[in-house]
Amino acid sequence: MSTGGPRRRGSLAATPGLIGAVTVLIAIVGVVLAYNAGKGVPFVKTYVIRAEVPDASGLLVGNDVRKGGSRIGFVSDVIARPGTDGTDGATLVLKLDESARPLPADSRVEVRPRSVLGLKYVQLTAGRSRTMLADRQTIDLRYAGGKPVELDDLFNTFDAPTRRGASDNLLIAGTALAGRGAGINRAVVGLNPLLEHAEPALRTLADPGTALSRFFPALERTAAEVAPVATQQAGLVTGLRRTLGGLSTVRPSIQDAISAGPAALDAGTRELPRQAAFLAASTELFRRLQPGLRSLSHAAPGLATAFRAGTPALRRAPALNRRAVPALRGLQAFGTDDDALQGFAQLGATATAIGPAVAYVGPAQTRCNYLTLLTRNLASVLSESDTVGSALRTGLLITPIAPNGEAGPAATPADGPAQNLKATPPKQPSDSLLHSNTYPYTASPGQPAECEAGNERYVPGKQMIGNTPANEGLITEGQKVGAK
């Protein structure tokens, strides 16, 4: 049993000094933590790596390190570093969360802008190397991205010459587009089929199999190759400027050509397929003409002489043509006259009827010259004349006297030796033999190629009736070489 009053318990609220001390201690701890927040939370284990970059301009200690869009750490330090190629760079010390461990040694590092105000962050992209980075190891400079484009870099591109050029371009473009809104609208509408047809082509280009990703590096290498001739290219551009300046003086003509261009293209679309057959035939014609054209060089001297002689004749040709007009008109009237046409028809029938006879008799002249010889001999027969008239030249042919000879009556064709009855004893100066060839060969169809008439060579001492057995050839009098 207690003999005193109730005991009073101690309370923290009853000591204001202690409360103030705890509050100050909490504030100090908060300030320290806030001050060191950029260097990591104390007592939390981190994954520290280094990364070489060509430029860390604008990057501050405490800036985020991100991977795949998520924050995985912060920049612990930025250290200036002289570059191996003579340029300055920086080495970044990155403190990463343990969840980012490990990183491949070929991971890519890029310094990127986070806002237009200049805030930066470090972007990490994991590589494919099987070698992983241990603590404090460094990502090599060759895996660093290029310097990001800053807002002030963008503004610095608009220097005074660029601003003047942009102003000139805007003025020229505005002048060119002014009042052409309807035409531009039609052009935009006309682009719709192009875009529809371009989609499959672009899809093909986007396919990895086209290796389009190597196209732009190849362009870069090409630009590096043509860089040494930049001065010559500048001269080319200057020359083009003069050329385009000259073209500007004929702008109305060019505009007319452009205006007429669609109609010409439509006509070409219609007509060119029709001309394909003509072009193919022309190609074949010129191919066949090539041998003749090659031989034309050998005939050129003769052609030149013919052209020199033909030029005066061509100058006189118009007068001849004018004089020939009445004759040609008369010939045209004659050719359309019914009686003349009927005569031509009868003449054609006559030519058809006598065609076989002419074909049979023709070789007698064309190959054996017999018609010419006949007319010559007839002319020489009547070539002597006086005041009374022409004289016919004749000559006597005395044949030998023999039994059944041609000099007297005969019972059979002459076929025996002649008798010289006045000789003592009687002699045989010649033979009395009948040589008769009623139908000699004249190289006509169905006959040997032989001009036999007048060329017969008879066998001595033997009667011969009909064609001789020997071929007399195709040479007659008045011919140098026999026809073939």
Fill in the amino acid letter for 105.
A
Average pLDDT, the chain: 80
184 falls within a domain: no
Rounded to 5 degrees, φ, ψ at 430 are -155, 175
Angle between helices 230-248 and 251-336 (to 10 degrees): 60
Greatest mean pLDDT range, 9-23, 83-97, 407-421: 83-97
pLDDT at position 2 over 50: no
For residue range 349-392, list pLDDT tens digits in order. 999 999 888 888 888 888 888 888 888 887 777 767 777 777 77
What's the pLDDT at 39?
55
330 falls within a domain: no
What's the pLDDT at 86?
64
Q: Give the residue from 124, 151, 178 where a domain finishes.
A: 151
What's the pLDDT at 339?
87
Instruction: Please give the C-alpha separations between residue 380 and each of 7, 59, 334, 389, in angstroms, as whole numbers.
Output: 192, 132, 40, 15
For residue range 163-209, list pLDDT tens digits in order. 888 888 888 888 888 888 888 888 888 888 888 888 888 888 888 88
306 falls within a domain: no
pLDDT at position 96 over 80: yes
In this structure, is the dihedral angle defined by the CA atoms of residues 354, 355, 356 and 360, taken in order, positive or negative? Answer: positive
457 falls within a domain: yes
| 89 within 8 A of 138, measured Cβ to Cβ | no
Q: Which two tokens stand for residue 86?
A: 């003579």
| 406 within 8 A of 399, measured Cβ to Cβ | yes
Q: Give the residue from 136, 151, 166 where a domain finishes.
A: 151
Name the residue range of residue 449's domain. 365-378+416-484
18 falls within a domain: no
pLDDT band at residue 293 using 50, 70 and 90 as cut-offs: confident
Q: Give the residue from 102, 129, 151 where a domain finishes.
A: 151
Ranking 44-53, 364-373, 470-479 by mean pLDDT, the lowest is 470-479
What's the pLDDT at 12?
52
CA distance 75 to 59: 9
420 falls within a domain: yes
What's the pLDDT at 15?
67
In sequence order, the 6+-apart residues with CB closer than 8 A to the CB of 119 are 58, 63, 113
User: If you average pLDDT over residues 24-39, what whole number do you get?
Assistant: 60
CA distance 459 to 64: 136
What's the structural domain count of the chain? 2
User: If you average pLDDT over residues 71-75, what whole number do you get?
Assistant: 91
Cis peptide upstream of residue 445 (ω within 30 degrees of 0)? no
pLDDT band at residue 95 using 50, 70 and 90 as cut-offs: very high
292 falls within a domain: no
What's the pLDDT at 109?
92
55 strand-pairing partners? none
Ranking 32-46, 101-115, 140-154, 396-410 by mean pLDDT, the lowest is 32-46
pLDDT band at residue 431 using 50, 70 and 90 as cut-offs: low
221 falls within a domain: no
For residue range 439-456, list pLDDT tens digits in order. 888 888 888 888 888 888
